[in-house]
Structure 1
Amino acid sequence: MTKFGAGRLWFAVTAAVVAIGIIVQLVVTATTTEGFFPDNPDRVLNVFAFFTIQSNLLLGGTTLLLALGAASDSTVFRTLRLNGVLCIAVTGIVYHVALAGLDELSGAAALTNFLLHTATPVLGVVGWLLFGPRDRTDREIVGWSLAFPLLWLAFTLVRGELVGFYPYPFVDVGELGYAQVLLNCLLVALLFLALAFGATLLDRRLTRTTVER
């Protein structure tokens, strides 16, 4: 199998794992009674408010296009591709550093937790390192990539004020106050920026290596 074929297979597997993880999560949410929202469809729809789900959707959508050979070289796709990789990396890091162990999960809930917080971050980052596509990241793309996490944060804080729900403890204004929440988000933003600029430099180096071969 050529590297091109292996890449498309990797991307297809990544998209499939994302799909399975999200579908299982929706089923688990729909069939349990725990949580902030007592009734469906509010319970199920609330799943999409989580950064984890949004990150997995970005990763799954872009890898599906890459697997199908339908990805473009547009600024929009390049931004979404970088967002998918960076956001899923942040998801994995923040979960395992700050959130793992807060809930005791079993069965299908443990499965979807593993798929969406561990498997897809590994598949997403390793897939980008191995198969790229290369030479798709620069300062302009990094700048555009900031839009999604900022919009998610704004939506989360405004929605939290309106309905009283915050998807993660570190953004819970009701418990921590705005000063601590904004400080927490600043730390995550610095992590995101470090990964973004690191990815840009690494992309250039990997591109040169590919060209030299």
Structure 2
Amino acid sequence: MKRNLATLFAIIAWFAVIVQFYLMVENKVSPIPETIIRFFSFFTILTNTLVAIYFSSQIVKGSLSRFFEKPGKLTAITIYILVVGLVYQFVLRQVWDPTGMQKLVDELLHAATPIATLVYWVLYENKKKIHWNQVPFWLIYPGVYLIFILVRGHFSGFYPYPFVNVAEIGYQQALINSLGVLLLFVLLSSVMILVGKSNSK
């Protein structure tokens, strides 16, 4: 059952990321090298790719799967992809109205994959071994990401999300918005840990 679910979820995640890449290249507004950089500048893409790699590692056992089996790794990935879904549903969904294949991919990236990952976490994470001292480490990835998009945006003028678009809203508002997202990471981390502790009693 576990391996079958991992296979299904890996297929969904890889399909969404690959098709999104195809659609972005097909509708590119910049040269290919810049388009590729912009593609991987989206937290959505990076995190869905991370999820796809995680589920793939659960199918083919090896050093990568052993790395991901360490307590807290699945929890961190689940938090990341849940933030992707929640921010999209409550902040970004009204920004545009995709159609056709783009709409399908959007739902896979922002709804299906987050839900699938949460289901997998509920079923298979060793919840009693996740602890509060892991939270700062879970925040490294989104922290580094934020620094990357702000620095690159300063030089390139491209910001992947409107709530961090310094060119339009300024650094102060971008940092305030980023703090709000950071608090969402912390809130989800707290919920996950509390659920884990309640299940271990």
TM over 0.5, yes or no? yes
Q: What CA distance in whole angstroms lies between the structure 1 residues aligned with 2:68 and 2:131? A: 13
Of 93, 103, 111, 1:118 maps to 111
Of 37, 60, 66, 1:72 maps to 66
Of 143, 160, 177, 1:167 maps to 160
Q: What CA distance in whole angstroms lies between the structure 1 residues aligned with 2:68 and 2:86? A: 29
Shift in CA distance, 68/141, structure 1 to aligned 2, threshold 3 Å: farther
What's 1:201 paired with?
Answer: 194
Q: Which amino acid letter does the alignment assign opposite residue 191 of structure 2?
A: G
Q: Which amino acid letter does the alignment assign opposite residue 52 of structure 2?
A: G
Q: Any idea what SS the aligned residue of 1:192 has?
A: helix
- 1:100 aligns to 2:93 (yes or no): yes
What's 1:87 paired with?
Answer: 80
Shift in CA distance, 54/83, structure 1 to aligned 2, threshold 3 Å: farther
Q: What CA distance in whole angstroms lies between the structure 2 residues aligned with 1:127 and 1:198? A: 16
Shift in CA distance, 45/74, structure 1 to aligned 2, threshold 3 Å: closer
What's 2:6 paired with?
Answer: 11
Displacement after TM superposition at 1:69 (Å): 4.3
Q: What CA distance in whole angstroms lies between the structure 2 residues aligned with 1:62 and 1:140? A: 22
Q: In terms of mean alpha carbon deviation, does 15-24 or 43-52 score higher?
A: 43-52
What's 1:39 paired with?
Answer: 31
Structure 1 residues not aligned, in runs of 5+? 1-5, 209-213
* 1:86–1:192 CA contact under 8 A, matched in 2: yes
* 1:55–1:87 CA contact under 8 A, matched in 2: yes
Displacement after TM superposition at 1:191 (Å): 0.9
| TM-score, normalised relative to structure 2 | 0.91
* 2:71–2:126 CA contact under 8 A, matched in 1: no
Within 5 Å, which residues of 2 pair with 1:141-156?
Answer: 141-156=134-149
Displacement after TM superposition at 1:67 (Å): 3.4
Q: What CA distance in whole angstroms lies between the structure 1 residues aligned with 2:48 and 2:71? A: 16
Displacement after TM superposition at 1:8 (Å): 2.2
Aligned residues: 199
Q: What CA distance in whole angstroms lies between the structure 2 residues aligned with 1:9 and 1:112? A: 22
Shift in CA distance, 164/12, structure 1 to aligned 2, threshold 3 Å: same
What's 2:173 paired with?
Answer: 180
The RMSD of aligned alpha carbons is 1.9
What's 1:48 paired with?
Answer: 40
Displacement after TM superposition at 1:180 (Å): 0.7
| TM-score, normalised relative to structure 1 | 0.86
Of 115, 125, 139, 2:132 maps to 139
Q: In terms of mean alpha carbon deviation, does 196-205 or 160-169 score higher?
A: 196-205
Q: What CA distance in whole angstroms lies between the structure 2 residues aligned with 1:191 and 1:146? A: 11
Q: Kindly provide the CA deviation profile for residues 101-155 of structure 1, in whole angstroms up to 9, marking residues without a partner as x.
A: 3112112211211110111011011211122243342123222111000000000
Q: Which amino acid letter does the alignment assign opposite residue 138 of structure 1?
A: H
Q: What CA distance in whole angstroms lies between the structure 1 residues aligned with 2:120 and 2:48? A: 14
* 1:79–1:142 CA contact under 8 A, matched in 2: no
* 1:56–1:88 CA contact under 8 A, matched in 2: yes
Q: Which amino acid letter does the alignment assign opposite residue 187 of structure 1?
A: G
